[in-house]
Amino acid sequence: MTADKRRIDTKTVHAGETPRVMGAVSLPIFQSAMYETAGGGAYHDIKYIRLNNTPNHAALHAKLAALENGEAALVAASGMAAITTSLLTILRPGGHLLAQESLYGGTHDFLTKDLAEFGLSFDFIDPTRPETWAAKLRPQTRAIYVETISNPLMQVPDLEAVAAFARARGIVSLIDNTFATPVNFRPLEIGFDLSVHSCTKYLNGHSDIVGGAVIGRADWVTKILHGLDILGGSMDPHACFLLQRGMKTLVLRVRRQNESALRIARFLAAHPAVATVHYPGLESDPGHERAARFFDGFGGMLSFELKGGEDAAKTFLGRVTIPIIAPSLGGVETLMTRPAATSHSGMAPEDRRKIGVTDGLIRLSVGIEDTDDLIEDLVRALD
Ligand SMILES: *Cc1c(COP(=O)(O)O)cnc(C)c1O
């Protein structure tokens, strides 16, 4: 694939859109499970929805690869399908993984509860302390896995060190770039081998589909795609269509969310009822220096604690009128949750506290509503 030198705003609209089918400006939904063949050919070349090779899949693969300047990309039925298929493909057989501990709940569960069942193993690392990683290496270590911005405390790993560590040791570096999006950070540019996404979040942006993606080295994307073909976690053409449409406004949405989240984080940090705010865009944040160096924007996700703790948090969530109290993130609407009651409710309270997730912590996914309306609503609820 020749590199697409156009800017990301242009690529979100146009990459992967040609040749136009019968002149259609918007790629139609190819609602056909199978396609005519001339006979012969290899299994993975048969055109079939599960084999991820219909026109709707091909268009998305090209657009996603262009957005993060990857050699290749694939879409999957969900973020978890993309993540688990990637790890099973890279680690097997008998492989060992290094991963940060503060991970998306599904990924954390997969490592801690399921990996051993497949004969695979892992060790957690502190992603901000590269000097501690080599001690965890084993002869079977095949990969290192981090998230660009961790949930729900918005920590930023030492990203350049992760990519360099993997390269020096000949292991694969993977990063979950869901929170940053290709608008704010493109991991392959600093040497990551593979970037994974939950397209359910910012890439689609409208809270109406579930999807996943893997972007990066063509050799690995091909192997993971074959794994996906066999495991069957393929994206349906209708979801492909919605994702492609959603991605066209990605840049507009994310830039607005960056701006709004920074204003809201500053407002909260200055409010007397607020104890702490976690947002890499704040100069006081421990990840700020790294985020400022690598990111084009600090993202639309932040979390905070009220001085009144859990009781105050519950009252506050009952009083806001614009944010919807719901899990998930990355859509056009502002969402709020208390991770201790949702994403991290499966963890023992002491384990939760150990990783800094207090019972009063509130997570905010900033939407595209008017920022003044959002701040006025927060003011009313805090007073
Ligand atoms: C939601 C999410 C996932 C899982 O994605 P699904 O589309 O729900 O399978 C993985 N990583 C991160 C960071 C997420 O936010």
pLDDT higher than threshold 60 for residue 278:
yes
Which residue minimizes the CA distance to atom 11 of ligand 1? 104
Res. 321: pLDDT tops 60: yes
- pLDDT confidence of residue 355: 79
Minimal CA–CA distance to 216: which of 197, 239, 241?
197
pLDDT given at position 349 = 85
Q: In this structure, which amino acid lies at residue 89?
A: T
Give the pLDDT score at 332.
98
More confident residue, 346 or 296: 296
Q: Is the pTM of this model over 0.85?
A: yes
Ligand 1 contact via 53 beta carbon (within 6 Å):
no
Whole-number Cα distances in Å, 51 to 14, 33, 114, 226, 245: 24, 10, 25, 8, 22
Q: pLDDT by residue (tens digit) across 82-141?
A: 999 999 999 989 999 999 998 998 999 999 999 999 999 999 999 999 999 999 999 999
Give how far the C-alpha of residue 236 lies from the chain's centroid of Cα atoms, to the nearest Å. Answer: 20
- How many angstroms does the Cα of residue 376 sit away from the middle of ligand 1? 30
Q: CB neighbours of 37 closer than 8 A, spacing ≥ 6?
A: 46, 47
> Exactly one of 4, 47, 48, 104 is catalytic; which is it?
104
State yes or no: pLDDT of 1 exceeds 60.
Answer: no
* pLDDT, position 2: 58
Say yes or no to pLDDT of 247 above 60: yes
Q: Give yes or no: 176 in active site.
A: yes
Question: Among 23-32, 148-157, 352-361, whose mean pLDDT is lowest?
Answer: 352-361
Tell which CATH classification among 3.60.130.10, 3.40.50.300, 3.40.640.10, 1.10.260.40 matches the domain 8-247.
3.40.640.10
Task: Tell me yes or no: is domain 251-382 CATH 3.40.50.620.
Answer: no
Q: Distance between CA atoms of 79 and 74, rounded to whole angstroms?
A: 11
What integer pLDDT is reported at residue 150 of this predicted model?
94
Contact 178, 298 (CB under 8 A): no
Residue 50 known to be catalytic: yes
Query: HSE-up of 113 (CA within 13 Å, CB side)?
Result: 8
**Given ligand 1 and candidates 178, 199, 228, which is best to mutate, with the most ligand atoms within 8 Å of its CB?**
178
CB-ligand 1 contact for 106 (6 Å cutoff): yes
In the chain, the N- to C-terminal Cα span, in Å, equals 56
Q: How far is 115 from 120, CA to CA, in rounded Å?
A: 5
Q: Which of 330, 331, 342, 290 lies closest to 148, judged by CA? A: 290
* Per-residue model confidence (pLDDT) at position 236: 97
pLDDT at 43: 83
**With pLDDT > 70 as the criterion, what percentage of the chain qualifies?**
99
Query: For ligand 1, what atom is nearest to the CA of residue 328?
Result: 1
Q: Which helix (H) or strand (E) holds 240?
A: helix 237-247
Query: In the predicted model, is pLDDT for residue 351 greater than 80?
Result: no
User: Which has the higher per-residue pLDDT, 174 or 350?
Assistant: 174
Most confident of 17-26, 177-186, 347-356: 177-186
Q: What is the pLDDT of residue 170?
A: 97
Distance separating alpha carbons of residues 343 and 15, to the nearest angstrom:
35
Mean pLDDT for the stretch of residues 15-36: 95
Q: pLDDT at residue 280 above 80?
A: yes
Question: pLDDT tens, 55-82?
Answer: 999 999 999 999 999 999 999 999 999 9
pLDDT digits (tens, 9 = 90+) for 173-220: 999 999 999 999 999 999 999 999 999 999 999 999 999 999 999 999
Parse the chain into domains and list their residue ranges.
8-247, 251-382
304-327 burial by CB neighbour count: b if 16+ within 10 A, else e? bbbeeebebbbebbeebebbeeee
Q: Is 110 in the pocket of ligand 1 (CB under 6 A)?
A: no
Indicate if ligand 1 lies below 6 Å from the C-beta of 100: no
